[in-house]
Amino acid sequence: MRDPLQRFQRWAEQRLPALTRFRRPESLPIELHRRRIYIVPSGFGIGFSILLLVMLVGALNYANNAALLLTCLLGAASAASMLVAFRSLDGLRLSHIRAGHAIAGQAIELTLAFDSSRQRNAIRLDLSGDTVAFAIDANTTAQVKLTLPTVQRGWQPLPRLRLWSTWPLGLFRVWSWLYPDQSVLVWPRPEVAGPSPHAPADDARHMRLHRGDELAALRDYRAGDPQRHIAWKASARHDHLLVKDFEQPQSRPQWQLDWRQLSALDNEARIARLARWLNEAQAQRCSYSLWLPGNEIASNSGPLHYARCMSALAQLP
């Protein structure tokens, strides 16, 4: 029952000019109104109306007015539920969309904020195969979270969203298309493996120069620790390697990640490598700077800085 109905809906939307009117992306906020809300009986609605017809004929045949009254009441209530269904979308407002962060290939989390002046129930939102149901209280904002699969880095426009409901009785299916003029930024996917960023020599010396000589503590060996920091004597007394941890008041490793260093690679490979380096730098909590064509990001650290660098990478042509 459902499939032919959906085919019919799709056909109708292709055919009817009124239904295609809102195909162009539009800017937020989007408020639903009667010219963009569509309503058809659901499969259950059609079945139920056949049942009502049977009840009507039965009541008429047996000249049973009480049964006829009941049938009329049920039929009228079904018809009234159509208006309630319409009202469950009418006046609903999509005020803004917030996107999370995701690298290409992963799903990105979107938060859609809907607000409404009255209470609404059982509204469903379809986005590329994902359906979320939500309710809104009067004069509040509902934060609806759903995920959108991504393919490649860069700005990805949002697809059309379908807002639909079968509230209140499931007899009618009311829907509307939202096509917000908004894109989400997808970060580049880092390469899986590759060389470490080689810091410029002077920087390395600088690092060593500033490396504190005071031994603060011994800690477990981590991959990537310089060999000369291993405390061999102390390690001999344990069953794993220990590393001398030096007090480093200001001389955390400073990475200067530069687009120009990777001239041997093509653009996407460069971006993938830089992304991996950014990840490593972020994991090691060191501060780093990033040079990109037309965009120079000064050395800094922290998640905001990381997001800024990744976004810059993502937006490269």
Partner 1 sequence: MTSPTPRRKAVEPPIDSRAFDLLSLTMALVLGLHAPHLPWWLSMALALTLGGRWWQRRQRAGRVPRWLKLPLLALLTLAVIVEYGNIFGREPGSALAVGLLILKLLETETARDARVGTSFACFGLMTALLFDQGLVATVVVALGLLPALATLRSLEPGQAPTSLARGLLPGLALSAAALPLALAAFLLVPRLSSPLWGAPSPGPARTGLSDNMSPGNFTDLLTDDHPAMRVSFEGAPPPPDLRYFRAYVMWNFDGRSWRYLDARYTGPREPATLEADRSIHYQISLQPTHQRVLPTLDVPLQAPAQASLQADREVLVDKPVNDEVSYSARSALRYRLQSTLDDRSRRLGLRLPAGFNPRTQALATQWRQRYGSDDAAIVQAALTLFHDGGFRYTLAPAPLGRDSVDDFLFDTREGFCEHYSSAFTVLMRAAGIPARVVTGYQGGYWNKLGEYLLVRYSDAHAWSEVWLAGRGWVRIDPTGAVRPERVSLGAAAAAGDQLSWYRNDWLQGLRNHWDIVNRWWDQGVIGFDALRQRGLLTPFGIRDTDTATLGILLAVSSVLFIAIGLAWALLRRRPRDPLRDALRELERKLARMGVVRGLAEGPQHYLSRAARALPGQRDELARLMSCYLELRYAHDEPPPESLRMFQRTVQDFRVVNVVK
In the complex, the residues that contact partner 1 under the rule CB under 8 A are 2, 6, 10, 13-14, 34, 44, 47-48, 51, 54-77, 79-81, 83-84, 86-87, 90-91, 117, 119, 121-124, 126-129, 131-135, 137, 159-160, 162, 165-171, 177
Report, in Å, the least distance between residue 36 CB and partner 1: 13
Judged by beta carbon, residue 73 or residue 236, the one nearer partner 1 is: 73
Report, in Å, the least distance between residue 56 CB and partner 1: 7
Judged by beta carbon, residue 51 or residue 218, the one nearer partner 1 is: 51
Number of C-beta neighbours around residue 107 at 10 A: 14
Quote the DSSP letter at residue 91.
Answer: T
Can you tell me the distance from the alpha carbon of 155 to that of 151, in angstroms, rounded to the nearest whole number?
11
Judged by beta carbon, residue 129 or residue 294, the one nearer partner 1 is: 129
Can you tell me the distance from the alpha carbon of 2 to that of 197, in angstroms, rounded to the nearest whole number?
56
Task: Measure Cα distances from 38 to 32, 119, 147, 242 in Å.
Answer: 11, 20, 25, 69
Half-sphere exposure of residue 185: CA atoms within 13 angstroms, side-chain side: 12
Report, in Å, the least distance between residue 245 CB and partner 1: 52
Judged by beta carbon, residue 70 or residue 215, the one nearer partner 1 is: 70
Judged by beta carbon, residue 128 or residue 311, the one nearer partner 1 is: 128
Report, in Å, the least distance between residue 69 CB and partner 1: 5
The helix/strand/coil state of 70 is: helix
Maximum alpha-carbon separation in the chain: 104
Closest C-alpha to 255, from 223, 221, 298 = 298
Quote the DSSP letter at residue 230.
Answer: B
Task: Measure Cα distances from 60 to 15, 49, 54, 76, 184 in Å.
Answer: 40, 16, 10, 17, 60
Report, in Å, the least distance between residue 98 CB and partner 1: 20
Report, in Å, the least distance between residue 79 CB and partner 1: 7
Judged by beta carbon, residue 135 or residue 218, the one nearer partner 1 is: 135
Judged by beta carbon, residue 52 or residue 230, the one nearer partner 1 is: 52
> Helix 267-283 vs helix 303-314: angle between axes, to the nearest 10 degrees?
170
Report, in Å, the least distance between residue 91 CB and partner 1: 6
